[in-house]
Amino acid sequence: MTNKNVREVVIDILVSIEKNQAYSNLLLNKMIQKYNLSSKDTGLLTEIVYGTIQRKEALDFILSSFINNKKKVEQWVVVLLRMSIYQMVYLDRIPERAVIFEAVEIAKKRGHKGIASMVNGVLRNIQRNGIPSFEEISDPIERLAVETSHPNWLVKRWIEHFGYEEAKKICEINLIPPEQTARVNLTKTTLDEVLAQLKDKGIEATAGELAPDSIKIGKGNIASSSLFKDGLVTIQDESSMLVGHALGVTKDESILDSCAAPGGKTTHIAELLNNTGSVTSLDLHEHKVKLIAEQVSRLGLTNVTPQVLDSRTASDQFENESFDKILVDAPCSGFGVIRRKPDIKYSKNENDIYQLKNIQLSILNAVAPLLKKGGILVYSTCTVDKEENEEVVAEFLNQHHNYKLDDELSNRLPCKVQPYIKGGTVQILPHYFGSDGFFIASIRKQV
**168: CB partners within 8 A, 6+ apart:** 144, 148
Residue 396 and residue 436 in contact, taking contact as beta carbons nearer than 8 Å: no
Catalytic residues: 382
- Relative to beta strand 371-381, strand 438-445 is antiparallel
What is the 3-state secondary structure of 199-236?
Answer: HHCCCEEEECCCCCCEEEEEECCHHHCHHHHCCCEEEC
Give every CB contact of residue 280 below 8 A, 6+ residues apart in sequence: 254, 255, 256, 257, 305, 307, 318, 323
Q: Nearest to residue 20, comparing CAs of 82, 75, 66?
A: 75
Nearest-5° Cα angle at 33, 28 to 39: 80
Measured CA to CA, the distance from residue 256 to residue 200 in angstroms comes to: 38
Instruction: Report how far residue 314's alpha carbon sits from residue 318's, in angstroms, rounded to the nearest whole number.
Output: 6
Q: Which residues of 167-181 are buried (b: 16+ CB within 10 A; e: fewer)?
A: bbbbbebbbeebebb
**Residues 396, 424 contacting (CB under 8 angstroms):** no
